A and B are shown apart, each in its own frame.
Chain A
Amino acid sequence: MDLPILSIIVFLPIVSGFALLLFPSERRDLIYRFALAVAFICFVLSIAVYIGFDIEGARFQFIEKYDWLPDLGISYHVGVDGISTPLVLLTGIVIFTGVIISQRIDDRPREFFAFLFILASGVFGVFVALDLFGLFFFYEIAVFPMYLLIALWGWKETREYAAMKLTLYLFIGSVVALVGALAMYFEAGIGSFDMLALEQINFSLGFQQLWFPFVYLGFAVLGGIFPFHNWSPDGHVAAPTAVSMFHAGVLMKLGAFAALRVGILLMPEGAAYHFPWIIALTLVNVVYGAFIAMNQTDLKYMIGFSSVSHMGLVALGFATLTYDGFVGASLQMVSHGVMTALFFAVVGMIYDQSHTRQIPELGGLMKVMPFAGVAFIIGGLVSMGMPGFSGFIAEFPIFMGAWASYPLVAILAVVSIVITAAYVLRAVGGVFFGDIPENIKDHMHDITASEKLALSILAVVLVGVGVLPGVMVPMVESGVAWMSALLGGL
């Protein structure tokens, strides 16, 4: 295909974002329609990439490569493999559904969508980058708009604090990883930032043992790894709905993805050396995150901590260094992304009408917004890892991988499923069943058609992957098979 489809996906949002800033601010309708159109194009293009990806084909496809700064070996090099293709699709889904449900942003919508699109470009860029410098470039583009999005449009109570905390955590992580990446660049001595070339370098064992924790943990901060997870629930709660969806649904995957690409693939021996203790951290994520989620009465905090728990499963899957673990973790990134986006979308809709997110203050919403209720329950079933939903397809291999390498970890991690079931069912029961409390009864009504559309898209993916694993699993397996070959077997 001649169309530089990945470049279009990466640059369309940011260019549109800057274009939006030139719109007259009072033309709100026009601004929203333009944003929706751009998001829709991204969505369609990401589907096109997903469909066009040939599982039997080369490891990286849709490759584009141009010189960027030849003197230092920096190139604009993009391409997708079996692991990043589903993530590109995920981003397309979340940006489209996120824009759909942001119709009611009334404070400076022009700036809101502009920053959201800059964020989207950064995210797409990281998923497709095959150049280490390019990866950092897009990674940081993805981080800073979060500050403005949360601080300006977030929940008034905590937004300033949460936005700053999030930004500082993420920047600390990324700059620490940056120093590690520079060290790799000079150690390799090939004068290139190309990750495919760097994968072939066998860094000395001492070097890998020294630098792996910096690079891995630097990125894993964004993946929400314990003990650096604290920014994440605060950020989720303070963010406006579309940003929460983006943040939990996609942004946290950037961390896990970059930790895989730069950490594990470039320094596999360092990974093998350090993972026995890192896996303990991820286990804390999984179990401790679930326990904290159970203690929350605020729906957004509950989902925020459940994200910490589920992202822990992603990190755990990779940390097992097994084939099954990799497959499961890669699938979990997509499954959890869509599921969390759906949760936050529903919570946003509830909050818009009731102005509360406290589970005890809600109830009986199934009667007024059955569609949202069903969607939420689907998300809940995914979260619990029920067979027939994407969560099962993703989590089962993770536990298999864990069992193969660290049986004790597997046993302890499985506990989280029970806890998850407890808090999800409690939330579903408390929010959607029973009677509607008197004080909110009058202003609750059904969600709009466009909101239903957004929820349907998300729910269809969750059920679709669960019922027909064949639409995604073989692709991910092909990506993992290449990695396995690269690492000399998993």
Chain B
Amino acid sequence: MFGSITSEMILAILPEISLLLLIAIVFIADLVLPTKRRSLLASITSAGLALTILITVLYARPNGSSQLLWGGMLNHDWLAFVSKLIFLTTALFVTFFAANWKGIWQKGEFYVLLLTSTMGMTLVSSASDLIMLFLAIEMVSIPLYLLAGFLVDDDRSTEAGFKYLLFGAMTTAVMLYGFSLLFGFSGHTGFAEIGAAIGAGQIPTLALAGTSILILVGFGFKVSMAPLHFWAPDVYEGSPTPITTFLSTASKAAGFVALVRIMIAVFPAVQAEWTSFVAIAAALTMTIGNLIALSQTNIKRLLAYSSIAHAGYALLGVAAASVLGVTSVIYYFLAYVATNLAAFGVIMIASQTLKSDEIADYAGLSRRSPTLALFMLIAFLSLAGVPPLGGFIAKVLVFAAAVQADMIWLAVVGVLNAIIGIYYYLIVLKVVYLYDSDKKDQPIPSTRLQKGALIVSVLLIIFLGTFFAPWYDLALNGAAGLF
């Protein structure tokens, strides 16, 4: 059905091929390595991921406009390219940070599941066919359900995994129903063909608007859009922190990429309807996320609500449904992923010594480890949207997109939410910097790799906030391919 396989088609899926090989290698290594040499698994995984990133940059770069390959299943364009880099980098960082994490880091299953999910994400980002998209989404989600419940001895982790599975399965069903309606109405599964059929006026508007809402519900769950956000805090809190990191960064970004791609390609005919739905959802998501974050005492829960709020900001860009809007969403995720990697990185390192995720236990961190505290300061200020950090530019861009789309009320809701955000981020920083603890003489150790990963992510945050032209161009390329 693909005709002859050309070198172009192979190059486009080179990252996936590389990941698949890596999965196989880790799987075999897990079988043959003796127990005490299991720490090699982390090295193999990170080396393989680094190699995959290199391969992606060198060979899987799209040239010029977007290309539909593999019988229209995959779209080889800049959006996919940028997203793949985000996912692969995140997986790499998570592997670094997970080092020494009790109960997971010497288990081959952890790496295999992580890599499988990452591979699913790379496919999600380029899928341009309903069937491909659905399969890719399941490939992302099923390993994540397992990973969230990875610590079988820990009740909270098991609960997180099960909760995630139940919520996820239900919303996936709703989304699948939406897909089937689309196919039923149009007779096609490719985004472009469905878009054309809709453009030709084959489908009644009301049915179309309803379908778009069904699909939004499905993705809304993945990106923790209110009112489908309830799973996020419990799952984030219960999962092992490396998984929480992965969930809140890569998995969320994947949801947004697919959301943007399908909404823009398939539903331009009912744009007014779905954008107003997204706009309201964005306002709700930001507000609920931020308001509930105010009362959190657990840092993982706080970041869970903060990540809900951030999904709301990014939805602003989706609601704008313009080139600037999509650009801002991509930029938002570049900044947001770098920032959250740094924030969770600090938490992972700190919690191994603190043995706690309570914010109050972070008191005196600036005396116990000034460097770690400084990284936390930079990450949290970037989340708060303070220059010269990536989060500031990202926020300005999404607000600009909303203003450009004449949704000034939404931009105002957004900026007011940013203020609430500043409040609770500063409260955490206050605990870190101002309060003292009786353990202030005990340092907080970290491995060289963890420190290196933190430094890289912090530098990324600063670069994203100061020299933003190259990143913006990357995001713009990604966005322009959709229109």
Q: Which one, A68, A111, A168, contacts B422 given CB within 8 A?
A: A168
**B408: A residues at CB distance < 8 A:** 179, 183
Minimum-distance CB pairs A-B, first 9: A175-B415, A182-B403, A144-B386, A137-B387, A140-B387, A69-B469, A182-B400, A141-B387, A186-B404
**B416: A residues at CB distance < 8 A:** 172, 175
B135 within 8 A of A: no
B320 CB → nearest A CB, Å: 12
Q: How far is the CA of A172 from the CA of B412 in the complex (A)?
A: 11
Q: How far is the CA of A435 from the CA of B416 in the complex (A)?
A: 53
B329 within 8 A of A: no
- Tell which of A67, A133, A183 has the most Cβ of chain B within 10 Å: A183
Known: A72-B400, A144-B384, A178-B399. 13 other contacts (CB 8 A): A21-B374, A136-B387, A148-B433, A168-B419, A168-B423, A171-B422, A172-B419, A175-B419, A178-B415, A179-B399, A186-B400, A186-B403, A186-B404
**B136: A residues at CB distance < 8 A:** none
- Supposing A144-B381, A175-B415, A179-B411 touch, asked if A151 and B433 sit within 8 A by C-beta, the answer is yes
Q: Which one, A68, A148, A178, contacts B396 given CB within 8 A?
A: A178
Q: How far is the CA of A152 from the CA of B388 in the complex (A)?
A: 22
The count of chain B contact residues (Cβ–Cβ below 8 Å) is 33
A199 CB → nearest B CB, Å: 20
**B469: A residues at CB distance < 8 A:** 67-71
B472 in contact with A69 (CB, 8 Å): yes
- Supposing A25-B370, A175-B418 touch, asked if A164 and B399 sit within 8 A by C-beta, the answer is no
Q: How far is the CA of A11 from the CA of B349 in the complex (A)?
A: 32
A147 in contact with B415 (CB, 8 Å): no
Q: How far is the CA of A179 from the CA of B370 in the complex (A)?
A: 36
**B366: A residues at CB distance < 8 A:** 108, 111
User: Can you sample 28 A-B contacts with CB below 8 Å?
Assistant: A68-B469, A69-B468, A70-B469, A71-B472, A71-B473, A111-B370, A133-B396, A137-B392, A140-B387, A141-B388, A144-B386, A147-B426, A151-B434, A152-B433, A160-B434, A171-B422, A172-B416, A175-B416, A176-B412, A176-B415, A178-B396, A179-B411, A179-B412, A182-B399, A182-B400, A183-B408, A185-B400, A186-B403
**A70: B residues at CB distance < 8 A:** 469
B402 CB → nearest A CB, Å: 9
B283 CB → nearest A CB, Å: 15
Query: In this complex, what residue of B is CB-closest to A122?
Result: B387
**A25: B residues at CB distance < 8 A:** 370
Contact with B along A201-244 (1 / 0, CB 8 A): 00000000000000000000000000000000000000000000
A167 within 8 A of B: yes
A164 in contact with B423 (CB, 8 Å): yes
B110 CB → nearest A CB, Å: 35
B430 in contact with A160 (CB, 8 Å): yes
B198 within 8 A of A: no
- Tell which of B433, B434, B476 has the most Cβ of chain A within 10 Å: B434
B429 within 8 A of A: yes
Q: How far is the CA of A176 from the CA of B411 in the complex (A)?
A: 10
B430 in contact with A151 (CB, 8 Å): yes
A188 CB → nearest B CB, Å: 12
B411 in contact with A182 (CB, 8 Å): yes
Interface residues of B (CB under 8 A from A): 366, 370, 374, 381, 384, 386-388, 392, 396, 399-400, 403-404, 408, 411-412, 415-416, 418-419, 422-423, 426, 429-430, 433-434, 468-469, 472-473, 476
Contact with B along A76-105 (1 / 0, CB 8 A): 000000000000000000000000000000
Q: How far is the CA of A151 from the CA of B381 in the complex (A)?
A: 15
Contact with B along A166-204 (1 / 0, CB 8 A): 011001100110110011011000000000000000000
B393 CB → nearest A CB, Å: 9
**CB-contacts of A13-71 with B (<8 A):** 21, 25, 67-71
Q: Which one, A68, A168, A172, contacts B468 given CB within 8 A?
A: A68
Q: How far is the CA of A297 from the CA of B418 in the complex (A)?
A: 37
Query: In this complex, what residue of A is CB-closest to B476?
Result: A71
- Total number of residue pairs linking A and B with CB closer than 8 Å: 84
Q: Which one, B388, B404, B422, contacts A137 given CB within 8 A?
A: B388
A148 in contact with B429 (CB, 8 Å): yes
**A172: B residues at CB distance < 8 A:** 416, 419
**B400: A residues at CB distance < 8 A:** 72, 182, 185-186
B415 in contact with A179 (CB, 8 Å): yes
A47 CB → nearest B CB, Å: 27
Q: How far is the CA of A138 from the CA of B473 in the complex (A)?
A: 23
B328 CB → nearest A CB, Å: 11
Query: In this complex, what residue of A is CB-closest to B412?
Result: A179
Query: In this complex, what residue of A is CB-closest to B388?
Result: A141
**A141: B residues at CB distance < 8 A:** 386-388
Q: How far is the CA of A253 from the CA of B318 in the complex (A)?
A: 38
A171 in contact with B419 (CB, 8 Å): yes
Query: In this complex, what residue of B is CB-closest to A187?
Result: B403
Query: In this complex, what residue of A is CB-closest to B471?
Result: A69
Q: How far is the CA of A231 from the CA of B171 in the complex (A)?
A: 47
**A136: B residues at CB distance < 8 A:** 387, 396
Q: How far is the CA of A175 from the CA of B422 in the complex (A)?
A: 12
Contact with B along A133-158 (1 / 0, CB 8 A): 10011101100100110011000000
B422 CB → nearest A CB, Å: 6
Query: In this complex, what residue of B is CB-closest to A21?
Result: B374
**B434: A residues at CB distance < 8 A:** 151-152, 160
Q: How far is the CA of A113 from the CA of B433 in the complex (A)?
A: 15
Q: How far is the CA of A173 from the CA of B418 in the complex (A)?
A: 12
**B472: A residues at CB distance < 8 A:** 69, 71-72
Q: How far is the CA of A68 from the CA of B467 in the complex (A)?
A: 7
**B473: A residues at CB distance < 8 A:** 71
**B404: A residues at CB distance < 8 A:** 182, 186
Query: In this complex, what residue of B is CB-closest to A142?
Result: B387
**B399: A residues at CB distance < 8 A:** 178-179, 182
Q: How far is the CA of A67 from the CA of B403 in the complex (A)?
A: 23
**CB-contacts of A106-146 with B (<8 A):** 108, 111, 133, 136-138, 140-141, 144
**A151: B residues at CB distance < 8 A:** 430, 433-434
**B370: A residues at CB distance < 8 A:** 25, 111
**A160: B residues at CB distance < 8 A:** 430, 434
**B411: A residues at CB distance < 8 A:** 179, 182
**B396: A residues at CB distance < 8 A:** 133, 136, 178, 182
B145 CB → nearest A CB, Å: 39
A136 CB → nearest B CB, Å: 8
B426 in contact with A164 (CB, 8 Å): yes
**A185: B residues at CB distance < 8 A:** 400, 403
Query: In this complex, what residue of A is CB-closest to B404?
Result: A186
Q: How far is the CA of A68 from the CA of B473 in the complex (A)?
A: 12
Q: How far is the CA of A172 from the CA of B426 in the complex (A)?
A: 15
Q: How far is the CA of A385 from the CA of B433 in the complex (A)?
A: 42
Q: How far is the CA of A465 from the CA of B170 in the complex (A)?
A: 74
Query: In this complex, what residue of A is CB-closest to B415?
Result: A175
B82 CB → nearest A CB, Å: 16
Query: In this complex, what residue of B is CB-closest to A175?
Result: B415
- Tell which of B388, B399, B472 has the most Cβ of chain A within 10 Å: B388
**B418: A residues at CB distance < 8 A:** 171, 175
Query: In this complex, what residue of A is CB-closest to B405?
Result: A186
Q: How far is the CA of A394 from the CA of B125 in the complex (A)?
A: 62
**A147: B residues at CB distance < 8 A:** 426
B173 CB → nearest A CB, Å: 40
Q: How far is the CA of A123 from the CA of B399 in the complex (A)?
A: 24
A195 CB → nearest B CB, Å: 16
Query: In this complex, what residue of B is CB-closest to A147?
Result: B426
B380 CB → nearest A CB, Å: 11
**B388: A residues at CB distance < 8 A:** 137, 141
**A71: B residues at CB distance < 8 A:** 469, 472-473, 476
Q: Which one, B387, B403, B419, B423, contacts A179 given CB within 8 A?
A: B403
B444 CB → nearest A CB, Å: 16
Query: In this complex, what residue of B is CB-closest to A174?
Result: B415
Query: In this complex, what residue of A is CB-closest to B468?
Result: A69
**B422: A residues at CB distance < 8 A:** 167-168, 171
Q: How far is the CA of A321 from the CA of B473 in the complex (A)?
A: 43
